Amino acid sequence: MATATFKSPYSSALPFVSQASIATWLPEYDAYRTAAYGLYDDFYFNSLDSSSTLIRGTDDKPVLVPTAKRLIKTLSRYIGRNWGFSIRQAPNVGAEVAPTLDDATREELAGILSALWVRENLEQKFTTGKRSMLRRGDWIWYVHADPLKPPGSRISIDVIDPSTFFVILSEEDPTNVTGVQIVEQFTLDDGETVVAKVQRWLKTSHPEHPAYTEEGEPASRDIAYDVLAWEPEAWYAPEDRKAVSVPWQAALEVIPGITALPLYHIKNDPAEGDPYGHSELSGAESILAAINQGISDEDLALAISGLGMFWTDSGAPVDAEGNATDWVLGPQRVIEIGNGNKFARVDGITSVKPSQEHVAYLEGSAFGTSGVNDVALGKTSGNTKSGIALAIEMQPLFDYADEKDAVINGVLSQMFHDLVTMWLPTYEGGEWPGAAVLSVSESGDRLPFDREARFKELTEGYLSGILPLGYVLRKLREEFGYDFTEDEVKAALAAKANTDATSADPYADRVTQESADGDAQTT
């Protein structure tokens, strides 16, 4: 297991991380960050590749409970619902009045973005990416272009592994991001040389940018890009790093027309001053490990109880030559031991309920931090809860999801803005004055539609004279799909009223019939 040498957001994960999974070629903070990613992946995928989560007994046949996967998948269902984009009138900025967005411009831009949406499979990348964000704590979108591709297909949007993503912070102001980089370690074709491939995107505030200046405005705001190869152990230390010659190495070059960094970082549960996000599993590592340990212990106890464990004070059995041999146990067999010696079966466990209750408590503790409850997990009780009780129970989860949506849509709205104002005009051509593209997701009522309660509300509202019939018919058509006319509704109500009046006097028909019979006899 690893031991934390300083306090960091990943300190709670380190006791459960195997030492072999910590990258020695990374700075200490980033080594712990990427190791924590591996641990959280292990919890999610029920693996032990990079973790040491079983702390007692044998771990050759552990039983791993998918608690982390249940938590992440449940929470992700309430985040980014019906995600998409919205084209709106651009707002005025200061004294600058935005051009008016006309219908033709809106329609043209919508077609371009829809084609990009389908070609780059953005919906699937969003669905899988938000689970990765919750699991690892960081979600990185990457926009890039290839001018050699055919028109209409030059721009690509991908999601990259956050363990390859590193921010570059200003030495004077550690909160100021001056660049980003993708760092990957791999072996060259000779099978021996290991290099760190470093792709960098630098803002003009980075000292190595060609347009960098300490005073006044830079000549250009365009970002610069290069690809370098270093010996892995010192790629992050300028004074120590050593370059490796590779064919794909590219010198620092300004990218015309692109003034924003192309990697868009969504941080889950960000802490003030921390350049990275935090996993939903952070702080719950010991709980998840205890759940797996508890279930493994229970499984072992059940196996021992079922297979049987025996004890004796007579010593081991011997063969004809007097050598110790194995006990032979099984159906239709007889065991003989000497007088005064004892041989008995160990009494097994009689109930695993306390163990299961303990595991359920641990799971509830892990789920509760994110507002996930039994209802969110899809569990239903025998008693149907009222709408207000259900809303109160689910509101913490909804509020938590709204916070996530605000962060996600904020970053992706910036990505869409850069696409429309930089990437598309530079590599595909075209301008869309007055257009602002926003990332949007569903923010309405997340509770299931209660048809019975809503129908009762509408019908009782009409019968009590509060709701007009026209309003009720419109809502029945919109919300239920019923298509009644006013005459049909009035006829149905009249028929029901007549039936109810007759049913109120069960003897009315008999009295009427007897009166008719009496009149006939008198006549």
Which of residues 229, 244, 267 is at a domain's end? 267
pLDDT at position 468 over 70: yes
For residue 56, the model assigns a pLDDT of 46
**Nearest-5° angle of CA 49, CA 50, CA 55?**
95
**DSSP-derived pairing of the beta strands 155-160 and 250-254:** unpaired
Among the listed ranges 126-135, 300-309, 396-405, which one has the minimum average pLDDT value? 300-309
Separation CA 138–CA 234 (nearest Å): 25
Rounded to 5 degrees, φ, ψ at 327 are -70, 145
pLDDT digits (tens, 9 = 90+) for 325-338: 887 766 666 777 77
Q: In this structure, is residue 214 part of a structural domain?
A: yes
Separation CA 118–CA 102 (nearest Å): 25
Q: In this structure, is residue 510 part of a structural domain?
A: yes
* pLDDT confidence band for 462 (50 / 70 / 90): confident
Which residues form the domain of 480? 454-522
Which of residues 241, 267, 293 is at a domain's end? 267
Which of residues 237, 267, 297 is at a domain's end? 267
Separation CA 358–CA 77 (nearest Å): 27
Q: In this structure, is residue 259 part of a structural domain?
A: yes
pLDDT at position 243 over 60: yes
Count of the separate structural domains present in the chain: 2
Cβ atoms of 324 and 389 within 8 Å: the answer is no
Q: In this structure, is residue 433 part of a structural domain?
A: no
pTM of the predicted model as reported, rounded to 2 decimal places: 0.75
Q: In this structure, is residue 362 part of a structural domain?
A: no
Residue 109 tokens read as 């831009």
- List Cα–Cα distances, 369 to 283, 285, 362, in angstroms: 10, 13, 12
Q: Which of 197, 156, 200, 157 is nearest to 177 (CA)?
A: 200
pLDDT digits (tens, 9 = 90+) for 268-308: 988 777 889 998 888 766 666 655 555 555 454 554 455 55
- Comparing 61 with 312, the larger pLDDT belongs to 312
* pLDDT confidence band for 4 (50 / 70 / 90): very low
Q: In this structure, is residue 486 part of a structural domain?
A: yes
Q: In this structure, is residue 144 part of a structural domain?
A: yes
Give burial (CB, 10 Å; 0-12/13-18/19+) of 247: exposed
Residues 6+ apart with CB under 8 A from 7: none
pLDDT digits (tens, 9 = 90+) for 298-313: 454 554 455 556 777 7
- Comparing 177 with 308, the larger pLDDT belongs to 177
Q: In this structure, is residue 101 part of a structural domain?
A: no
